[in-house]
Amino acid sequence: MASLQLTAPSSQWIAGKAPFAWRNSPRTAAVPRRVAVRPIRAGSYTDELVQTAKSIASPGRGILAIDESNATCGKRLASIGLENTEENRQAYRQLLLTTPGLGAYISGAIFFEETLYQSTTDGKKFVDCLLQEKIMPGIKVDKGLVPLPGSNNESWCQGLDGLASRCAEYYKQGARFAKWRTVVSIPSGPSALAVKEAAWGLARYAAIAQDNGLVPIVEPEILLDGDHPIERTLQVAEKVWAEVFFYLAENNVVFEGILLKPSMVTPGAEHKERASPETIARYTLKMLNRRVPPAVPGIMFLSGGQSEVEATLNLNAMNQGPNPWHVSFSYARALQNSVLKTWQGRPENIEAAQKALLVRAKANSLAQLGQYSAEGETEGAKKGMFQKGYTY
């Protein structure tokens, strides 16, 4: 067993390193070194990952996020008086996923695990419904947020244990991208610990996902909660993304094969002043230009409690000029709110509900191209969906 020689040059006890050669003393024989660890930037899935990411980041298209956990989906169903059964969850997702022509505006759909294995009532796999429309199937792979010990009442995201085999199984089932959502809270600091953990967890997840054929969507959501001004959000966002990219690089993640899912840079929900879409766009683009390397193909914003129209207007403002990455959407509530209200759980409303989905999807598609106008939007679409302390 090697013993620490306290009088020896400091580097000698580091296994595998050649002994430090003091100037003017004879060189000692080099200790056989460890095999130089050359990070493998290209794994067996690299080309496919790059293609998948490009496909999702295609002009005029974005992501439909329908990966609500069973509990959260239950809340949605309850809001229209429906019981939280597997049958109802299946019926609701079927409504969304069999919407004709959805692929014109949607390039990817994120599933919860249950949904990845479901089919329509006449036996067609949901995955196949998507592929028919050239929509990539994605899968939520994290295991939710839990309290972070030693922090300021903050959370961290679980899910690394067994992640590799989960991803491999999901790939077999047809998933081609993954999603992992962690959160950062500005009213809680955020503490350096929480930011570091969020970034490191994302980086580890991303490397494992790529190793198993799934494009990782990297989502550190900076929660809307708080009364802070937009400048503070910018500061926190820049810190969070600096950490994220640094750890992604350390984990040898291939940037051409990832997608980002950031929150837009806005004032806190309880701040006295609202910001215009132009202001939000300016601050958000400033943050992206300062932190996101051009190798990243797509940035798919979360809506985080904004109203359907707000989310679309803000995205539109960001696309008024060329950007070095595809700037698009990955919306859940901001795409589904009107759909649920129209459906009300009744089969006779399915067609109308699907039309409502297409209306929102098309609006966001136009916003991705910078060509959206808010004329003709309904009042319902303009209603905010922020909930203080929202647990997802």
Partner 1 sequence: MSAYCGQYHDELIATAAYIGTPGKGILAADESTGTIGKRLASINVENVEENRRALRELLFLTPGALQYLSGVIFFEETLYQKTADGTPFVDVLKKGGVIPGIKVDKGTVELAGTNGETTTQGHDDLGKRCKKYYEAGARFAKWRAVLNIGPNEPSQLSIDANANGLARYAIICQENGLVPIVEPEILVDGPHDIAKCADVTERVLAACYKALNDHHVLLEGTLLKPNMVTPGSESAKVAPEVIAEYTVRALQRTVPPAVPAIVFLSGGQSEEEATLNLNAMNKLKGKKPWSLSFSFGRALQKSTLKAWQGKAENVEKARIAFLARCKANSEATLGVYKGDAAGGEGVSESLHVKDYKY
Binding region for partner 1 (CB under 8 A): 9-11, 17-18, 20-21, 33, 36, 38-39, 41, 231, 234-235, 238-239, 242, 245-246, 249-250, 255-256, 286, 288-295, 324-325
290 or 388: whose CB is closer to partner 1? Answer: 290
- 3-class secondary structure, 335: helix
Distance, CA of 188 to CA of 152 (rounded, Å): 6
231 or 351: whose CB is closer to partner 1? Answer: 231
Instruction: Tell me, yes or no, if 256 is annotated catalytic.
Output: no
Q: What are the residue ranges of helices labelled H in the chain?
A: 46-56, 70-78, 86-97, 113-116, 126-132, 163-173, 192-211, 230-250, 277-291, 308-318, 333-343, 350-368, 379-382
Instruction: Tell me, yes or no, if 169 is annotated catalytic.
Output: no
Tell the burial category of 122 from Cβ atoms under 10 Å away from its Cβ (0-12, 13-18, 19+): exposed
| Residue whose tokens read 């930037």 | 41
Tally the residues of the chain.
Answer: 392
- Spot the catalytic one: 219, 221, 256, 377: 219
62 or 257: whose CB is closer to partner 1? Answer: 257
9 or 162: whose CB is closer to partner 1? Answer: 9
Which residues 6+ apart lie within 8 Å of 87 measured at CB?
none
Minimum Å distance from CB 174 to partner 1?
29
177 or 241: whose CB is closer to partner 1? Answer: 241
CB half-sphere exposure, 160, CA atoms < 13 A: 14
- Spot the catalytic one: 140, 261, 308, 310: 261
Distance, CA of 250 to CA of 273 (rounded, Å): 39
Cβ density class 273-292: b for 16+ within 10 Å, e for less: eebebebbbbbbbebbeebb
Give the residue numbers marked as catalytic: 219, 261
